[in-house]
């Protein structure tokens, strides 16, 4: 797909972290970008900065998502790119020790279900809404391409750590959607890929440095090469390549500096 000002994109979680970097990379190449986020203040400010539009969207709500797509399309036309970075998830060991009660407890099913809603269900929601819009648009090139959907999974989907049953399981579900969804949409010229980032310098990870610099340095050293956290702009550059290169389809691409995390 040619990336220029004739293309519109939607980036979920676009007010910060990997989403912000993706939106910036697309906007720098002329793409009209709509930012979906629940952080209205940050989202509005960043959208203004890149000449885009902000849509306050709760990815766990069908009504909110549909309203966001409607607003984005009214401003920019049919999106040809969806980058889905937003996530809602919890954590906790399947069974852990409760110090207050002096007994073991299990992570509540309700918490697990909320994570599945915020990862797996939300991913399907955003991807399927985008795909329907793309399906009704004209092809962009001789290949018959109509759109590119880029999902965000995680290295945790393949080597999740202690306390990541819900998160790793949800991201594993995202991985499992990619191939069948790409096959569902192949006759419509819509591609589906997922990026599996490792440990990136996103706001939650940078907070670790504030509380425990030794732990933060350990995270850096755990990466084989380069020995640092991933830069959000490196995620953004991969997004651009996945949009540009039409032969990328149904791929799960790890972006992790070769890290393979042992259980700790």
* pLDDT per residue as tens digits for the range 236-252: 999 999 999 999 999 99
**Domain limits for position 27:** 8-200+231-255
Please report how the helices 203-211 and 213-221 are oriented relative to each other, as an axis angle in degrees rounded to 10.
Answer: 130
Indicate whether 63 belongs to any domain: yes
Indicate whether 206 belongs to any domain: no
Tell me the average pLDDT across 197-202: 92
Tell me the average pLDDT across 17-21: 97
Tell me the average pLDDT across 8-25: 98
Q: State the DSSP H helix or E strand holding residue 76, giving kind and residue range, or none if neither.
A: helix 62-76
Where does the pLDDT of residue 264 fall: very low under 50, low under 70, confident under 90, or very high at 90 and above?
Answer: low
* pLDDT per residue as tens digits for the range 65-80: 999 999 999 999 999 9
Active site residue 247: no
Statement: the pTM of the whole predicted model exceeds 0.85: yes
Q: Is the pLDDT of residue 261 over 90?
A: no
Indicate whether 1 belongs to any domain: no
Task: Tell me what pLDDT residue 218 has.
Answer: 85
Indicate whether 211 belongs to any domain: no
Tell me the average pLDDT across 220-239: 95
Tell me the average pLDDT across 9-32: 98
Token pair for residue 62? 């069908």
Choice between 42 and 160, residue whose per-residue pLDDT is larger: 42
Indicate whether 124 belongs to any domain: yes
Domain count of the chain? 1
C-alpha 190/C-alpha 147 separation (Å) is: 5
Task: Tell me what pLDDT residue 175 has.
Answer: 98
C-alpha 161/C-alpha 178 separation (Å) is: 23
CATH of the domain at 46: 3.40.50.720
CA-derived radius of gyration, the chain: 19
Tell me the average pLDDT across 196-220: 84
Strand spans (E) along 43-158:
53-56, 81-84, 95-98, 103-106, 147-152
Q: Residue 78 CB: number of other CB atoms within 10 A? A: 18
Q: What is 28-67 written as a DSSP string?
A: HTT-EEEEEES-HHHHHHHHHHHT-EEEE--TT-HHHHHH
Which residue among the candidates 104, 124, 167, 247 is catalytic per the annotation?
167
Q: Do residues 20 and 42 lie in contact, with contact meaning Cβ atoms separated by under 8 Å?
A: no
Tell me the average pLDDT across 86-111: 93
C-alpha 148/C-alpha 247 separation (Å) is: 11
Indicate whether 218 belongs to any domain: no
Q: Do residues 193 and 248 lie in contact, with contact meaning Cβ atoms separated by under 8 Å?
A: yes
Indicate whether 212 belongs to any domain: no
Q: Is the pLDDT of residue 217 over 90?
A: no
In Å, the largest CA–CA distance within the chain is 66
Task: Tell me what pLDDT residue 207 has.
Answer: 77
Cis check: omega of the bond before 226, within 30 degrees of 0: yes
pLDDT above 70: percentage of residues in the chain? 99
Angle at 202 between CA 35 and CA 96, to 5 degrees: 115
Indicate whether 214 belongs to any domain: no
């Amino acid at each position: 797909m040619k990336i220029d000002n004739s293309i519109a994109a939607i980036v979920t979680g676009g007010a910060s972290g990997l989403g912000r970097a993706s939106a910036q990379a697309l906007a720098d190449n002329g793409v009209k970008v709509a930012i979906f986020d629940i952080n209205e203040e940050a989202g509005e400010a960043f959208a203004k900065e890149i000449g885009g539009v902000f849509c306050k969207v709760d990815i766990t709500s069908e009504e909110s998502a549909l309203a966001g797509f409607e607003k984005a399309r009214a401003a920019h036309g049919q999106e040809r790119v969806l980058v889905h970075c937003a996530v809602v998830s919890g954590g906790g060991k399947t069974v852990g020790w409760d110090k207050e009660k002096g007994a073991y407890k299990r992570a509540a099913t309700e918490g697990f279900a909320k994570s599945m809603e915020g990862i797996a269900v939300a991913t399907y929601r955003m991807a399927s809404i985008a795909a329907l819009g793309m399906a009704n648009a004209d092809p962009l090139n001789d290949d018959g391409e109509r759109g590119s959907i880029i999902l965000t999974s995680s290295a945790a989907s393949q080597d999740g750590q202690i306390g990541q049953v819900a998160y790793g399981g949800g991201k594993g579900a995202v991985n499992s959607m990619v191939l069948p969804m790409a096959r569902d949409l192949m006759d419509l010229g819509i591609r589906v890929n997922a990026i599996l980032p490792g440990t990136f310098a996103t706001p939650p990870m940078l907070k670790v440095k504030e509380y425990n610099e030794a732990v933060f340095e350990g995270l850096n050293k755990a990466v084989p090469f380069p020995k640092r956290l991933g830069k959000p702009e490196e995620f953004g550059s991969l997004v651009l390549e996945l949009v540009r290169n039409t032969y990328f389809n149904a791929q799960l691409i790890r972006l992790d500096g070769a890290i393979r995390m042992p259980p700790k």
